[in-house]
Amino acid sequence: MPNIILFKGKYTIPAVLITTLAVLAIFKFSSPLVGLIICLAYLLFFGYYLGQFFLINEKRFWQIVTGTLALIAILTIILTVIYWFGQINRSLLAIVMIILPLFISFQKYEEEDQTVENEIDLESYVYIKSHLGTKLLAGMALFLDILLFWYLWQKQSTDTLMSPWTLIGSHFYFTFVIATILIIWVLQKSKHTPSNLFLIIVHYGLILSVALIIFGLGYGFDPFIHQASEKWIANYGFLLPKQPYYLGQYLAVVSAYFISHLPIDIIDRIIVPIGTAILMPLFTYFAFSRKEWKEKIFPAILLIPIFPLIFFTTTSPNNLAQLLAYLIIMWIWYEKNNANWHTRLWGLIITLFICTIHPFIGLPILIIYFGSIFQHFNTSALQHLRTQLFNKIFYPLYFIILSLILPATFYLNSLRSGQTISLSNPLNNLNSYWSMFTRPFYYWMNSGNWAWKLLYYYHDALLWIIVGCIIFGIVISLKKYQEKQTYFFITTSLALLATTFILSTTLKYPDVIGYEQNVYAHRIWELCLIILIPYLVITFRELFLFVRRQPFKQLGMALVLSLVMLVSWYFTYPTRDPISHYTGYNIRQADIDAVNFINKRNNGNFDYIVLTNQAVATAALHEFGFAKYFNTTAGEQFLYSIPTGGPLYQYFRKMIYEEPKKQWMIEAMNFAHVEKAYFIHTNYWAPAAEIRDKAKLEADSWWEIDNGRVWVYEYKL
């Protein structure tokens, strides 16, 4: 059949109109609301027609979801190639957005059935359908979730804050437990309709958005670096030196900014928490429902956050890549019985998208996805060869390639960048591996009463409980459901565990402070767990199947599981309580005021350096981006003392941990070849008063900012 976008007026006219509006939004419109509507219209309209190509036999809703993701991925991949050889600007984005609909229009589609059922197709959309209006419990659960969202919004803070839970009262937790009990009960008792996913998505959104809402200026450190990079690219077209990572996220955010005109900070912050809340339930349901596992699948999906989804609470290239990696894993599950070259192409596009975002995650996922394709070869001509390869070659070869791809990549990248990664005897560094599973240093188990101790002992055991549930799910999948693909995922997880061992015991990274050396290994450990989440869902589903006709047990289980969900939610974010003395201070308004004070005092000329902690340096990135670098004997150094493994931060450590002497400031100025330097001290860095008073003695000038929250000291040669 001819392509309906080109040859059907009712499709051609909207396509031309939406594309024209998208181009106008880039150059002419300035309203974020108008821009956002146009951006969504473009993605959903053309995403739907692209999705028809990838999922020929699926319902319209799933075509929209997969097609929209593929459209974003293709757009970003094209822009990444353009950026690598040049730069990005509004004109290039507009050209690509005009070309993509033409590319989509080359595909031919069958004539649509114009019946009301197929046109509206209610069962395939995640609407709040009639049962949410008529069933009191579902309505109450939704109301309680909305109430909790409102409560979090009222608690938003720009002051000193280490844990969001320090602002939350006991009534908040009680309300969450009630809402969770109601949702678990409704999902067990209601008829099987995809609209149940709406309740799950809203609850996921609540679980994953606490930091997003409460930390008014943003949460964490890495997100601010990435936001500064995105702002720089939006303003100047490129960021030097060009690196072969993070570009996928950067260019996706910049593109959304060019079209919607929403602030880059907002776009960046919501991608992973909101994206996870929507896509994780949808893709889990989509894959498992196609395996005829619909019964009791909804409450099982709801319980995934019993595994604290810490890495999905903030946006960073690593976290975004982890989210897309989970989608690929669920896609592999879907393709077990539904694979064709159309679905393979979708998987390849998303995998390449992950590589543009973070090759550290993308390369293993690329190996895993190609491994899954090879595993599914089942033509009669290859059947005997396939059996032999699987028995003698495939699994050992797959294990070796997957386990070594990242260590080899790290080593080659170090040669490319001129850095030197130290190689060590892994047997001499076993403690480095086991340290990933030890308690954080800020847990003081003897400082709490028995109730707090019991809570944290449970936290110690939670990871291994999750691992036990995963193992149980693996056994069920093999024994009950005869899922031979499970052997592939077992091999995958073992290979990733081998990777974490190599990364943590064999490789030592330059310019990375000691306590961050294991960060790469820990991320692969997280990826390993993410890949095995489907087996956690299988375990939970079996639990609900076991009590499906026992109302009292169902109610009791809903109560217990809601309490378990609450505890996992508590540990999804940093904690500050009688046992946990977490010291990861976040950016504050006082920090922003301090960096702006220094900038104003110097009339916007960045001919100085600043020694301060990571949070205040983050505020500088937030305000000025990559404003100034100085040439030093150790390479180019940012004017603020970051990263924590850098030379300037070592001078800051001397000011804090030894004595705030002018001698250290002079040495830092000579190192950076400047004649002026500042030391910023905050009221939360103990011993605050002692450091404050000693620093006053040798500073040329000093100021108190925001009623003693910050002190600024000036030094001159």
Listed by start position, the domains of the chain span: 4-111, 411-546, 589-716
Q: In this structure, which amino acid lies at residue 126?
A: V
Q: What is the pLDDT of residue 653?
A: 94
d(C-alpha 667, C-alpha 669), whole Å:
5
Q: Give which of 710, 610, 701, 694 is closest to 660, Cα–Cα.
A: 694
Is the pLDDT confidence value at 615 over 60? yes
What's the pLDDT score for residue 377? 64
pLDDT score at 388:
61
Average pLDDT over residues 250-275: 96
pLDDT digits (tens, 9 = 90+) for 33-82: 999 999 999 999 999 989 999 998 898 999 999 999 999 999 999 999 99
Q: What is the mean pLDDT of residues 305-325?
A: 95
Compute and round to an integer the Cα radius of gyration of the chain.
27
Q: Are 25 and 33 in contact (CB under 8 A)?
A: no
CA distance linking residue 403 with residue 360, whole number of Å: 13
* Helix (H) and strand (E) counts in the chain: 30, 8
C-beta separation of 204 from 180 below 8 A: no
Please state, in angstroms and rounded to a whole number, the distance separating the CA atoms of residues 72 and 75: 5
Q: pTM of the predicted model, to two decimals? A: 0.91
Is the pLDDT reported for residue 5 higher than 70? no
Would strands 629-632 and 609-611 be described as parallel, antiparallel, or unpaired?
Answer: unpaired
| Separation of first and last alpha carbons in the chain | 78
Is residue 217 within 8 Å of 622, Cβ to Cβ?
Answer: yes
What DSSP letter does each residue of 666-679 carry, written as one string?
HHHHHHHT-SEEEE
**Sign for the pseudo-dihedral over CA of 218, 220, 221, 223:** negative
Residue where the block lists tokens 């240093």: 441
- Using DSSP's 3-state secondary structure scheme, residue 245 falls into coil
Task: Report the pLDDT averaged over residues 457-484.
Answer: 94
Whether the CB-CB separation of 219 and 618 falls below 8 Å is answered with no
Q: Please report the DSSP string for 53-85 in residue order.
A: HH-TTS-HHHHHHHHHHHHHHHHHHHHHHHHHH
Instruction: Say if CB 79 and CB 255 are below 8 A apart.
Output: yes
What does pLDDT average to over the chain? Answer: 88
pLDDT (mean) for 651-676: 94
pLDDT at 422: 67
pLDDT at 122 over 70: no
238-270 in b/e form (b: 16+ CB < 10 A) is ebeeeeebbbbbbbbbbbbbbbbbbebbebbbe
